Amino acid sequence: MSVDLEDYYCDLPFSSWSKYESRVVGSTKVILELFDKHKVNATFFTLGYVAERHPELIEEIKSKGHEIATHGYSHTDLRKMDLKTFETDLTKSLKILEQISGEKILGFRAPFFSIDKRNFWTFDVLKKYLEYDSSIFPVRTPLYGIAGAKRYPYHPSHDNPLKEDVNDKFLEIPPATLPIPIIGNIPIAGGFHMRFLPLSIVKSGIKKINKNGHPAMCYVHPKDLDPETPRIPEYSWYYYWGLDNSKKKFESLLKNFSFSSVRETVLS
């Protein structure tokens, strides 16, 4: 289980963030309470910006046994960055998160799952600082994804991150998907998909992944469980779909499956 720890306005340009009132502490505490109730450990892919402003929240997350990983600093789409800018953003977040958590950060998730064939150079940077990534979504959507990418954790090759190199220590952990004949893989991992899809489909997909001997990488944003999330004109309808029922659906997943962090599930 993972949490993309960001505020509801973080899909907007970074320069506009200061105009919005933060809700991330309250909405994250809802998630923490559910995790406590169902004895779940998770990986929190945390924005450096959020940690910088709410270090006490990061300390609380760590005190409960969860893993702190990085989501970058400014939640910028990697397809809009060059190598130098990305490395600066990444290392800024790592410095903040490691100082607050007191431990080495091991993992990364790209904002908007924005690693694709156009920017595989990101792995040259990631492998310098980290042990794993969870950004390559093996689906094709209008917003992100790589159709045909591997669906289960693997060691990406230096020459082609879509291929496996068993001698490489770096790990890629794709978010959970469900193959549908003719259609291809559909995303079931979390976020909008968890809110939009019937819960039976999400559960069926997780069970099939587990039956094949693999962990299912799931995720949630704090805003996904916040029905009072402020409406932002720039956001599309799918940001708000299913918010009234999302906490109930998410808790059902926690009841029916055993979840843990990346550090405890695949790195131990």
pLDDT in tens, 153-166: 999 999 999 999 99
Beta bridge partners of 156: 164
Residues ≥6 apart with Cβ < 8 Å to 75: 6, 10, 11, 14, 47, 49, 111
pLDDT tens readout for residues 54-76: 999 999 999 999 999 999 999 99
- Give the mean pLDDT of 138-149: 92
Percent of the chain exceeding pLDDT 70 equals 100
Listed in order, strand segments (DSSP E) in 19-87 are: 43-46, 67-70
pLDDT, position 142:
86
pLDDT, position 140:
87
Beta bridge partners of 4: 45
- Please state, in angstroms and rounded to a whole number, the distance separating the CA atoms of residues 196 and 190: 9
Give the chain's mean pLDDT. Answer: 97
pLDDT tens readout for residues 180-237: 998 999 999 999 999 999 999 999 999 999 999 999 999 999 999 999 999 999 999 9
Residues ≥6 apart with Cβ < 8 Å to 122: 78, 83, 86, 110, 115, 135
Domain total for the chain?
Answer: 1
Q: Give me the domain span that covers residue 176.
A: 2-265
Task: Please check the confidence at residue 111 and state whether its pLDDT lies above 80.
Answer: yes
pLDDT band at 268 (very low <50, low <70, confident <90, very high): confident
- Give the mean pLDDT of 148-176: 96
pLDDT, position 123:
98
Q: CATH number, domain at 217?
A: 3.20.20.370
pTM of the complete model beyond 0.85: yes
On the 0-12 / 13-18 / 19+ scale of CB atoms within 10 A, 18 is: exposed
- Please state, in angstroms and rounded to a whole number, the distance separating the CA atoms of residues 62 and 67: 6
Task: Please check the confidence at residue 267 and state whether its pLDDT lies above 90.
Answer: no
pLDDT, position 8:
98
Helix axes 83-101, 122-129, angle to 10 degrees: 30
- Please state, in angstroms and rounded to a whole number, the distance separating the CA atoms of residues 47 and 72: 5
pLDDT, position 202:
97
Task: Please check the confidence at residue 125 and state whether its pLDDT lies above 80.
Answer: yes
